[in-house]
Amino acid sequence: MSTPEQDLAQYCRDVAENARQASSQLQLCSGQLKNHWLHESALALRSGVSSILEANAKDIQKAPEYGLTDAQIDRLVLNEERVAGIATALEQIAMLPDPVGQTIEGSVRPNGLEINKIRVPLGVVFFIYESRPNVTADAAAICLKSGNAVILRGGKEAAYSSRAIVDILMQVAIQVGIPEHAVQLVATTDREAVGHFLQLDEFIDVAIPRGGEGLIRRVSAEATMPVIKHFDGNCHVYIDKDACLEMATAIAVNAKCQRMGVCNACESLVIHRAIAEPALQQVVGALIEQGVAIHGDEMTCGVLESAIAATEEDYGTEYLGPAISVRVVDDVDSAIEHINRYSSRHTEAIVTSNIVTARKFVAAIDSAAVMINASTRFNDGGEFGLGAEIGISTDKFHARGPCGLEELTSYKYIVTGNGQIRN
C-alpha cells in the first residue's frame, strides 16, 4: 500500500511525464495552430465568464483565511472587465512573431555544408507564481506560443480561479488539436509537491519562480534543472552633477512612487556631491511630499531634518513600500562602486546631460537593464515591446532582463550537406 507521500511523488512524476510527451508533440505544431488556440481560448474565456467568476467568488470567500490584505484581495478579484482583459492579452500574444524555427544565423562552409542556427523551444517549463488569476492565462499563453509545455503551480489563494481558467484552455486545446497536456495546473496546494517537481530534471527543462524571495531561494536551492529568476529588486537612480533637476525629480518620483511594491521600483537614490544640496531639497523633498521615508547618509540627514540615519543594511534593502535609501557620492566612479556593491543586478538609472558620463555608467554597471534619463519602471516586457513576459531575470545564463517569447527558446544547429564526409 502506498503512502500519501509516495502518492504525491507519483502524481508529480505523472504530470511531468505527460508534459514531456506534450512537449514532443508541440514541436510539430505550426505557428498558425498555436495562434488558433490562442484566439479560440480568448473566445472561450469570454463566453465562460460566468463559470470563471463563480470560481473566483470561492477564492474571495476564502481570502480572509489566508490573511490577505485589501490590496492583495483586489489583485485577486475578477469581474467581467478583467476577464475580458485576460482574453485580450491572449489575442495580443497571438499577434506576436513566432520565434520557433527562426534562423538566428547561417553560413555555408568551404566544403559546401550549410550551417543554420535555429530557434527551438526549451521544452517543459515548471512555472511557480503568485496568486493572480491573470498570470495563469498569461504564462500558459506565452509558454505555448513559444512551443513549450508548461506545468503551472499557482498559489492556493487563487486555486479555484486558476482551475477554471486552465480547464477552459485545456478544453480548447483538445478541440483544435493542441496536445492535451501542453498546459497543466498542479491539482494540489501541498507545498511538498514543489520539491518533487524540482527533482524531475529528466522531464522538466527549466523552472521559473515568480514570487517572494523565500520561494525563489528555495527553488534555486532545490532545483535540479536550470532556474530563470531574480531574488529581489534593489534598483538605483543616480543623479549626476550634470543632471537636470526637474527631470531628475520626475524620474525619481515615478521610479519610486508609481508602484512601490514591484521589482523595478527605485529603492535607492545616489546623488553627486556637486549638486547634493539642491538635489536633496528638490528631488528628495518631492519624495518626502509623497510620504516616502528617507534613510540617508550624514549629508542627507544634515540637509533634511526628517531623514533617518541609514544603516549598512538600508543600502541593500528592497523596501517595496514608502521608504528609500539616499547616499551622496563624490563622483560617477563612486556612484558605480556603490551601486555595483549593493544592487541586486535588476535595474539602474542615470540622470545626466553628459553623454560621456552616461556611456561610462552604462559600461560599468553590472545589471540586467540600465536606463539613461528614464525611470527604472520601464524594465518590463510590455514596455520593451516584447508583448508579454513570464518574468524578469537577473541571471546571465540563459536569459537576462524581461523574459519574453525568445527567452523561452534555445537553439540548435541544422547542418545540410550533399554527401560530404570528414577527412
How confident is the model at residue 172, as a pLDDT? 98
Say yes or no: 151 and 21 in one domain.
yes
**Which residues, 6 or more positions from 177, have their beta carbon under 8 angstroms from its beta carbon?**
29, 33
Q: What is the pLDDT of residue 225?
A: 96
Model pLDDT, residue 262? 85
Is residue 75 located within the same domain as residue 124?
A: yes
| CATH number, domain with residue 153 | 3.40.605.10
What pLDDT score was predicted for residue 388? 73
26 part of a folded domain: yes
Same domain (yes/no): 115, 253: no
Residues 75 and 140 in one domain: yes
Is residue 365 domain-shared with residue 268, that is, in the same domain? Answer: yes
Is residue 276 situated within a structural domain?
yes
What SS3 class is residue 90?
Answer: helix
Kindly state whether residue 40 falls inside one of the protein's structural domains: yes
Encoded amino acid at 86, one letter: I
Question: Looking at the structure, do residues 45 and 121 belong to the same domain, yes or no?
Answer: yes
Q: Classify residue 390: in a domain, yes or no.
A: no
- How far is it, in rounded angstroms, from Cα 230 to Cα 217? 9
My answer on whether 120 and 202 are in the same domain is yes
Domain housing 97:
4-228+403-416
Both 91 and 168 in one domain: the answer is yes
Domain for residue 91, yes or no?
yes
- On whether the CB atoms of residues 75 and 136 are closer than 8 A, the answer is no
> What is the per-residue pLDDT for 5?
63
Show pLDDT as tens, one digit a residue, over the chain (423 residues).
445 566 999 999 999 999 999 999 999 999 999 999 999 999 999 999 999 999 999 999 999 888 888 878 888 999 999 999 999 999 999 999 999 999 999 999 999 999 999 999 999 999 999 878 999 999 999 999 999 999 999 999 999 999 999 999 999 999 999 999 999 999 998 889 999 999 999 999 999 998 877 888 999 999 999 999 877 789 999 999 999 999 999 999 999 999 898 889 999 999 999 999 999 999 999 999 999 999 999 999 999 999 999 999 999 999 989 999 999 999 999 999 999 999 999 999 999 999 999 999 999 999 999 999 999 999 988 888 887 788 888 888 888 888 999 999 999 999 999 999 998
CATH number reported for the structural domain that contains residue 304 in this entry: 3.40.309.10
pTM listed for this prediction: 0.87
Q: Is residue 56 part of a domain?
A: yes
Same structural domain, 151 and 252: no
| Cell reading at 395 | 541571471
- Predicted confidence at residue 1, as pLDDT, reads 40
176 and 265 in one domain?
no
In a domain, residue 392? The reply is no
Query: Are 216 and 262 found together in one domain?
Result: no
Strands in 114-121's sheet, in edge-to-edge order, are 103-108, 114-121, 409-416
Same domain, yes or no: 244 and 332: yes
d(CA 123, CA 111): 33
Distance, CA of 390 to CA of 394 (rounded, Å): 13
Q: How many domains does the chain have?
A: 2
**pLDDT number for residue 391:** 83
Residues pairing with 149 in the sheet: 124
